[in-house]
Amino acid sequence: MAGIKLMVNLRRRLGLYALYLSSGLALETAAYPKPGNVHRLHDFADIRFEDFLVASGVSQMHMLRGLRRGMLLAKGIRLVNVYGDLIRDIVIESMRISGGGNTNLGSSLLLVPLSIALGYLRVNNYEVELNNLLVTARDLLRRYSTMNDAINYYKAVRAASPSYIRATDYTGEMPNVWDPEFISRIKGRGITLWDVLSYSSRYDLNSNEIVQGYPRSLELTLYLLNRLRVHGEWNRAVVETYIYQLSREDDPVIARKYGSETAAYVRNEARKLIQCIDDWVMCEKEVVSFDEKLYEGRVNPGSTADLIVVAISLYSLWKQKRLIRPMQ
């Protein structure tokens, strides 16, 4: 009976971890107004607010798979597929079930390594402290990612088909994602997912975030926590955290789609907004106006949104209850 109880408790704990990790996608999208992003009052032509809710549910199932894989790695079991097929399945199944476009390529890339690291740490009975989790996520990916992971990640990108990733892009030593021979080229060079992310970290924010050990995600988690302690309003705190990140560096999705001048303009406008957040009655009107301007121009800070998803997921892992209620 004791063994059965332990098994039930383990399954419950893993299920909750998967829920916490996947919650960021739904809670980030629900926040309003986040300038330029899909939210509960703004849809895009190919992506609706509800598509993200579906994607969050799909992600939860695959976060659980990641947790279990981390447990296997902790027991010394080597796997051919560790990361890439999880990312691929989340992206493809989300689009198939909702019927919409890509909602979670970037967030899946960031969250899947966290699920594996969390499973790994729990099996070894290590305390799940956020700094340790983030560094472990990076280190495990560097140690255990495979050629299959790289191939399946390429398949995820091809399925999502982001408009800013083109067949004409120079990719140096890495195969272009649209190269019809990408599988044979990856196998021929022995390229792992870590190799892909390490190379692309020079220009891709999400890849850089993983390779560096998630420093922005941790800072944004702490910023979100601080804003909640200041005023206790969940929606406002998420929007403030989003604006904070938008003010700190150019969003590479904007830069690749619309150019560096547009990216710098968005960052500078966000810097103005971050100065007024303590007077929210006035500031919210300015945020709404900026949101409308970006929405009309279809300027979407996609990488910024991905980081906020991870920050919310990490906050959820830390708090675990009363997630959207004031701090006590």
pLDDT over 90 percentage in the chain: 88
The set of long-range contacts for 266-272, using a CB threshold of 8 Å and a minimum separation of 24, is 266/35, 266/36, 266/294, 266/299, 266/301, 270/35, 270/243, 270/244, 270/246, 271/247
Can you read off the two tokens belonging to residue 9? 């408790």
Give the N- to C-terminal CA distance of the chain in Å, as an integer: 37
Can you read off the two tokens belonging to residue 256? 């690749």
pLDDT tens, residue by residue, 24-34: 999 999 999 99
Band of pLDDT at residue 326, cut at 50, 70 and 90: confident
Least confident of 122-126, 271-275, 302-306, 310-314: 122-126
Q: What is the pLDDT of residue 264?
A: 98
In the chain, DSSP finds a helix count (H) and a strand count (E) of 15, 0
β strands within 63-171, DSSP E = none
Q: Is the pLDDT of residue 297 over 80?
A: yes
Rounded to two decimals, the pTM is 0.95
The set of long-range contacts for 198-203, using a CB threshold of 8 Å and a minimum separation of 24, is 199/172, 199/173, 199/174, 200/174, 203/252
Domains of the chain listed by start with CATH number: 2-319 (1.10.4200.10)
Query: Alpha carbon 164 to chain centroid distance?
Result: 18
C-alpha span between 273 and 71 (Å, rounded): 44
C-alpha span between 312 and 45 (Å, rounded): 26
β strands within the chain, DSSP E = none
C-alpha span between 277 and 288 (Å, rounded): 13
pLDDT tens, residue by residue, 89-146: 999 999 999 999 999 999 999 999 999 999 999 876 666 799 999 999 999 999 999 9
pLDDT tens, residue by residue, 71-83: 999 999 999 999 9
C-alpha span between 193 and 151 (Å, rounded): 8
CA dihedral sign, ordered 255, 261, 266, 270: positive
CB-based burial of residue 129 (10 Å sphere; 0-12 exposed, 13-18 middle, 19+ buried)? exposed
C-alpha span between 153 and 207 (Å, rounded): 12
Q: What are the two backbone dihedrals, phi and then psi, of residue 224, each rounded to the nearest 5 degrees?
A: -60, -45
Band of pLDDT at residue 10, cut at 50, 70 and 90: confident
Helix (H, G, I), strand (E, B) or coil at 39: strand
